[in-house]
Structure 1
Amino acid sequence: MQEDFLHYVWQHQYFDKTDLQTEDGQPITVLRPGHRNPDAGPDFLNARLRLGEVEWNGAVEIHLRASDWHRHRHQHDPKYDQVILHVVHTADQPVQRTNATEIPALALAGRLAPELLAAYQRLREQPAEALLPCAPLLPQVPMLTRAMMTGRTLLERVEQKAAVVAGLHQQLAHDWEATAYHALAAGFGFQKNNEPLARLARALPLALLRRHRHDARQLEALVFGQAGFLEEDPATEHDLYVQGLREEFAFLRHKYNLAGTALLRHDWNFLRLRPANFPTVRLAQLAALLHARPALFDALLTARDVRALEGFFAAPVSAYWRQHYQPGKPGRVPALGKSSVHLLIINVVVPLRAAYGRHLGNPELVEDAVSLLEQLPAEHNHLTDAYQAAGFEHRSAADSQGLLALHRGYCAPRRCVQCSIGSHILQRS
């Protein structure tokens, strides 16, 4: 049993209240169980109880064993002096506040319905490789309950990503244009190279790039030079274009004192990537976008729909990068594909617009950002396909993102009691 199960039981009052009393024999009447505390301190705040003849308002702390109070050193923390009831599974010892007054305890062992415990254990004891711990019990869960839960997890996922963008915005002196640039740069890493591309954006500020936006060759020199791809290399010994970029970068590096800030070639991941996904290809695409789109944030914020955003990302790369996967290594390179554009919309544009909506306190902007996901086709991978096979709706990227968030936030860590689907199963028991 995990402590979160007792939180669930107390929140919903799913236990036998016959002759309810504390360990020292005081009758208990629960007038209000309180609300969950998401921050440090007791588990439930603003509870209202009658203990004996006295009515109390305060906090409730929950543990599997009463001795966990001492294990967590709450007896030395004044935040826990407001606790009026210690709810435990097993009352193995009395506990005190910082002033040594004893806190009444309620033991729930023996008050939990066997059917409820059995349903909880069945969810918890599914093998680790089981993607959906509730899969055997899903037929009893209405589609509406599933849809509402994936809608909730979708919003949680968008909010989490928007919070990352908001942090970036704060780091960049509240400059939304620079925020859009940094978010786009990391997005062009497509997971395998997110981190080095984020580092490159820090090593190549937008203010510097703006000075050379009108010259595609200088932009490429800065991008590939700071990325570490213009070092002397036998493969580019006779490549006049790369030699020209190298000379251009040497001048710009000296002009802007960039020595020592560049990445190294081995910072980039090529392993198990198709050539079209090589970081060098993505850098060329990013440079082309910076050259073609002078106002990143405004364009990403005001695009009316997915089609407009697809047009925004349709910035053709230079002739050299249409014919080379890496410096000095020729091959026909496809343009930025529609599936890649859709990933950029999901992972960059939607969080950016949601973060801006939160910044303005405008929920409509957040809703508009989420609506972009509803216009995109569903993503397919082993996780989303497993949920679709189990009967979950999977028609758009909004569904995909909700399912991924459901898995990572609830199913994988087995947070079943905090999930509407798991809660429905437990309630039926």
Structure 2
Amino acid sequence: MKEDFLHYVWQHQYFDKQQLVTEDGQALTILRPGFRHTDAGPDFPNARLQLGDVEWNGAVEIHLKASDWYRHQHQQDQKYDQVILHVVHTADQPVYRTDGTLVPVLALGARLPAGLLSAYERLCEQPSSESLPCAGLLGQVSELTKTLMLDRALLERVEQKADVLAALYESLGQDWEATTWHALAAAFGFQKNSEPLSRLAKALPLSIVRRHRHDLRQLSALVFGQAGFLAEQADSSHDLYIRDLQQEFAFLRHKYNLAGTGLSAHDWNFLRLRPANFPTVRLAQLVGLLHARPMLFDALLSATDVPALEQFFTAPMPEYWRTHFRPGKPGKVAELGRSSVQLLIINVVVPLRVAYARHTGSAELVEASVALLEQLPAEHNHITDLYNALGFQHRTAADSQALLALQRGYCTPRRCLHCSIGSRLVQPNPLSR
């Protein structure tokens, strides 16, 4: 048994509440169990209880054994002086606050419904695999329960991504345009080169980009120069275009005191990438976008549907990079593909708009932004295919993102009792599933 199980039991009050008595003999009435708290401090603050003839307001702390109070050093932490009830499975010893006063203890071991405990143990005993732990029990859960859980998981995933961008916004002096630049730059790395592209955005401030985004030659020199691709190389020593960019970057580097702030060519990943995914190609696509779209954030915010966003990302690369996938190395290069654009919408546009919507208090914009995911086709990978095979709906990118959130946030860490599906399977009344 894990402590999470007792949290679940207390939160939903799934135990025999007849004639409750604490270990020190006080009659107990639960007026309000409190609200689940996951940060530092007691587990359920804002509880209201009646102990004997006295009504108490405070916190409830949950442990498997009463002695865990001392194992967690709560007797030395004044945050736990607000605990008015210690709920445990087994009361193996009395516990005291920092001032030496006794904490009332309620032992639930003998009050748990047999069916509840056996259902929980059956869920925990499911074999560990890539599948969700309750895969063999899904037939007991209604489609409505699964749908509601996926809706919740989707919103949690979008909110988590929005949290990252909100923190980035604060770190950039509350500048949404700069936030967009940094977020897009990192996303153009498409995992393999996300980290060096994120570093490039820091090494090339938007204030400098803004001054030269109208001049494709200067913009290319800044981006490829700071990325480290304009250093002298044998392959490009006779390439007139690259030599021209080298001269322009030498001037701009001195003008903006950029020496020593950029990346080197060896910072980028080319291994096991197709030429279309080479970082040099992605940089060229990013240059084309910066040149064609003078106001990134406003355009992404004002777009009302996916076709408008796809049009936003349809920006031609510089001519040279349509026929070169590395400096001095010819080859036919495609423009930014539709699947790549869809990933940018999922991973940048939607969370960016949600972060802004939360900042401005616009619930309508949150809803409209999340709805964009329903206009995109479903993503396919081994995780989504696995859940699809188990009968989960998988028609749009909203479904894909929800399934990924379910797998990473609940199934893999086995947070079954925090999931509506697992919670339904453990519930004492099977008719409510």
- How far the C-alpha of 1:389 sits from its partner, in A, is 0.9
Query: Hey, what's the Cα distance between the residues in 1 that align with 2:81 and 2:190?
Result: 49
Q: Which runs of 5+ in 1 are unaligned?
A: none
TM-aligned CA distance change 1:350 to 1:84, over 3 Å: same
Query: Hey, what's the Cα distance between the residues in 2 that align with 1:39 and 1:388?
Result: 34
Q: Corresponding residue for 2:353?
A: 353
Once the two structures are superposed, what CA deviation does each residue of 1:289-314 show, in whole Å capped at 9, x if it has no partner?
Answer: 00110010110000111001100000
Q: Which runs of 5+ in 2 are unaligned?
A: none
- Give the partner amino acid of 1:134: C
Query: Hey, what's the Cα distance between the residues in 2 that align with 1:381 and 1:243?
Result: 42
Moved more, 286-295 or 12-21: 12-21
Alignment of 1:329-368 (within 5 A): 329-368=329-368
Q: Corresponding residue for 2:374?
A: 374
Alignment of 1:296-335 (within 5 A): 296-335=296-335
Once the two structures are superposed, what CA deviation does each residue of 1:200-225 show, in whole Å capped at 9, x if it has no partner?
Answer: 00100111011111211111111111
Alignment of 1:219-238 (within 5 A): 219-238=219-238
Q: Corresponding residue for 2:415?
A: 415
Moved more, 240-249 or 351-360: 240-249
- How far the C-alpha of 1:26 sits from its partner, in A, is 2.4
- How far the C-alpha of 1:18 sits from its partner, in A, is 4.0
Alignment of 1:23-422 (within 5 A): 23-422=23-422
Query: Hey, what's the Cα distance between the residues in 2 that align with 1:322 and 1:295?
Result: 24
- Give the partner amino acid of 2:246: R
- Give the partner amino acid of 1:411: C
Query: Hey, what's the Cα distance between the residues in 2 that align with 1:19 and 1:297?
Result: 61
Query: Hey, what's the Cα distance between the residues in 1 that align with 2:199 and 2:332?
Result: 28
Q: What's the secondary structure of 1:348's corresponding residue?
A: helix
Query: Hey, what's the Cα distance between the residues in 2 that align with 1:126 and 1:269?
Result: 40
Once the two structures are superposed, what CA deviation does each residue of 1:24-57 show, in whole Å capped at 9, x if it has no partner?
Answer: 2323222221111243211112222222333322
Query: Hey, what's the Cα distance between the residues in 2 that align with 1:113 and 1:130?
Result: 31
TM-aligned CA distance change 1:121 to 1:328, over 3 Å: farther
- Give the partner amino acid of 2:114: P
Q: How many residues align?
A: 429
Once the two structures are superposed, what CA deviation does each residue of 1:265-303 show, in whole Å capped at 9, x if it has no partner?
Answer: 221122222211111111000011001100101100001
Query: Hey, what's the Cα distance between the residues in 1 that align with 2:118 and 2:198?
Result: 48
- Give the partner amino acid of 2:255: K
Q: What's the secondary structure of 2:235's corresponding residue?
A: helix
Once the two structures are superposed, what CA deviation does each residue of 1:353-398 show, in whole Å capped at 9, x if it has no partner?
Answer: 1011001011111111101111111111111111111111111111
Moved more, 102-111 or 156-165: 102-111
- How far the C-alpha of 1:400 sits from its partner, in A, is 0.8
RMSD: 1.3
Moved more, 387-396 or 17-26: 17-26
- Give the partner amino acid of 2:399: D
Moved more, 10-19 or 332-341: 10-19
Q: What's the secondary structure of 1:36's corresponding residue?
A: coil
Query: Hey, what's the Cα distance between the residues in 2 that align with 1:114 and 1:329?
Result: 71
- Give the partner amino acid of 2:287: A
Q: What's the secondary structure of 1:110's corresponding residue?
A: helix
Q: TM-score, normalising length from structure 2?
A: 0.96
Q: What's the secondary structure of 2:111's corresponding residue?
A: coil
- How far the C-alpha of 1:119 sits from its partner, in A, is 1.9
- How far the C-alpha of 1:74 sits from its partner, in A, is 1.3
Query: Hey, what's the Cα distance between the residues in 2 that align with 1:268 and 1:348?
Result: 22
Query: Hey, what's the Cα distance between the residues in 1 that align with 2:165 and 2:187?
Result: 12
Query: Hey, what's the Cα distance between the residues in 1 that align with 2:401 and 2:140?
Result: 24
- Give the partner amino acid of 2:222: L
- Give the partner amino acid of 1:43: D
Moved more, 67-76 or 392-401: 67-76
- How far the C-alpha of 1:351 sits from its partner, in A, is 0.8
Query: Hey, what's the Cα distance between the residues in 1 that align with 2:138 and 2:287?
Result: 48
Once the two structures are superposed, what CA deviation does each residue of 1:226-270 show, in whole Å capped at 9, x if it has no partner?
Answer: 011111111112222112111211111111110110111221122
- How far the C-alpha of 1:126 sits from its partner, in A, is 2.8
TM-aligned CA distance change 1:127 to 1:328, over 3 Å: farther
Identity %: 72
Q: Corresponding residue for 1:6?
A: 6
Query: Hey, what's the Cα distance between the residues in 2 that align with 1:48 and 1:190?
Result: 50
